[in-house]
Structure 1
């Protein structure tokens, strides 16, 4: 069937109260320089990034059955994310987060995630089959049958996982053919420290890519059919707020997949998008459009992927 949407995703929505302070977070005390509120959630922000880049994105996680009071849902719509296929339940609500941001853009996030997670098990295959990519986060352990169905239907599953709850997370990772993970989580999960060792350890025959993101140090990639492992350096930027940078990376990576790009090229594109996103406040306020990303990618000092080791 025709792909009416390119990227679908489900995960927790969030409302973020963001506090900017004048000293590093390690200082223990400092003055508030600014306060703002933004909407977040790993997958939700990634989908907003897809829409901002010009893609067709749809959210299929739980929404409140009171649409007029569901401000998180309205915010997704405002940014161009389709919510018409999302299931509803009376107890659905967003996570509430407080984010402290230091002068160098580093942040600490405190959140309360006692909300419904996953999505409806009755979600129709015809909805999933509209898209080319399914974006998920660690909360997708609550609906791994949906992830399995998406893979069976031929969707690429891009997983943003930051913690493990044991066998349920392991199953979720086995169902995901594009693991796009923070390096720190991957180190803890794999019991390895070197990125090349982790890329080899997390590999499986049905994997399309493993991508390890490491902030200002860039990302490390293994892709199917390639004899080498890759490193994509990060851009040198003055970070205002790193909130949502990883989400932006995931959204841009997923969007690039829908355009037929190989994983390394997806990571190059996502690196530009994430770099732009940290130059402004909040998790969504500085998300870039397609023209901004393309302009950054042709800069004289734009990062160039380099082979770092054999794949095996």
Structure 2
């Protein structure tokens, strides 16, 4: 049946105080060149990316029940994300973060996440059926039963996990049929180092895809019913600010998945979106539209996915 949205999501909703400095973060000290306050959060920014790309996105995590204090929800609405399905609670508020960004675009995030996480346990099935894809992050450990119900209802679960809360995270990882993880977390979680071994260790019979994102080194992909493991190179672009690039990647991936694309094509689309997003300051200012993404994907310098065994042969070939 037709569904009004492409992607639903619940997870981090944040307000970020961003400080730009004139030296790399390892320099020890430097001067502030710019300050700004932006709205962010893994899932929230990913949903905004979906909306910017032309998709229908709805936030179904906790929002405050007082209009005067619902700053996070109001901004999501202004950014094109539907909030009408979100449960309300008087103590709900965004995470507060302080982000330091160096001249190379690298950043350090310090956050206070002592807030109400997850979503309403009794969220109706009718709400979950409003989209074919549910996007979650590590805070979904607070609402595992909702994720399980969404999976049983046939939704694709795209999981963006950056840290572990022990067995609860293990449960979420098992429920997700599309694991889209930073490779740094995947290495620590699996105790493996090379991408092929990590992809193998994270694979299971119920998995549709495992994707490892590795910044300007690109992404690694294993997808169902495909004997090859893939490397998708990143676009060569001078980064101004990498804040929100991973969130943009997840949003673009989820939208492409909702449109019926196979995981490798979802990654190719998300790679272009994330590259464009780092060309502007802040986590949301650089989020692209679909036309720009398509232009980057079809340009002469667009990276081409390669099977990992082909990459290995190329690197080992004599010069």
Q: TM-score range by the shorter chain?
A: over 0.9
Deviates more, 1:67-76 or 1:102-111: 67-76
| Alignment partners' CA distance in 2, 1:249 and 1:144 | 23
Q: Could you tell me whether the CA contact under 8 Å between 1:211 and 1:221 is conserved in 2?
A: yes
Residue 67 of structure 1: how far off its partner (Å): 2.1
| Alignment partners' CA distance in 2, 1:156 and 1:174 | 13
SS at 1:250 equivalent: helix
The runs of 5 or more residues in structure 1 that have no matched partner are none
Q: Which residue is 1:278 aligned to? A: 278
| Alignment partners' CA distance in 2, 1:280 and 1:119 | 32
Residue 259 of structure 1: how far off its partner (Å): 1.2
Deviations 1:30-76 (A, max 9, x none): 00000111100100000000000000000000000102321110100
Residue 95 of structure 1: how far off its partner (Å): 0.6
Residue 2 of structure 1: how far off its partner (Å): 2.4
Deviations 1:210-252 (A, max 9, x none): 0000000000000000001000000110100000000000000
1:87-102 matches, within 5 Å, as 87-102=87-102
| Alignment partners' CA distance in 2, 1:67 and 1:252 | 30
Q: Which residue is 1:159 aligned to? A: 159
| Alignment partners' CA distance in 2, 1:49 and 1:279 | 15
Q: Could you tell me whether the CA contact under 8 Å between 1:11 and 1:139 is conserved in 2?
A: yes
Q: Which residue is 1:179 aligned to? A: 179
Q: Which residue is 1:105 aligned to? A: 105
Structure 1 stretches of at least 4 aligned residues deviating more than 6 Å after TM superposition = none
| Alignment partners' CA distance in 1, 2:2 and 2:124 | 16
Q: Could you tell me whether the CA contact under 8 Å between 1:249 and 1:271 is conserved in 2?
A: yes
1:1-312 matches, within 5 Å, as 1-309=1-309
Residue 12 of structure 1: how far off its partner (Å): 2.1
SS at 1:110 equivalent: strand
Residue 5 of structure 1: how far off its partner (Å): 1.0
Normalising by structure 2, report the TM-score. Answer: 0.96
The size of the alignment, in residue pairs, is 310
| Alignment partners' CA distance in 2, 1:96 and 1:79 | 19
SS at 1:55 equivalent: coil
Q: Which residue is 2:314 aligned to? A: none
| Alignment partners' CA distance in 1, 2:68 and 2:46 | 24
Residue 165 of structure 1: how far off its partner (Å): 1.2
The runs of 5 or more residues in structure 2 that have no matched partner are 311-319
Residue 299 of structure 1: how far off its partner (Å): 1.0
| Alignment partners' CA distance in 2, 1:207 and 1:98 | 35
Normalising by structure 1, report the TM-score. Answer: 0.98
| Alignment partners' CA distance in 1, 2:156 and 2:44 | 18
| Alignment partners' CA distance in 2, 1:258 and 1:235 | 24
C-alpha RMSD over aligned residues: 0.8
Deviations 1:62-100 (A, max 9, x none): 000102321110100001100000001111000110000
| Alignment partners' CA distance in 2, 1:209 and 1:218 | 16
Q: Could you tell me whether the CA contact under 8 Å between 1:196 and 1:309 is conserved in 2?
A: no
| Alignment partners' CA distance in 2, 1:128 and 1:6 | 11
Residue 309 of structure 1: how far off its partner (Å): 3.5
Q: Could you tell me whether the CA contact under 8 Å between 1:157 and 1:177 is conserved in 2?
A: yes
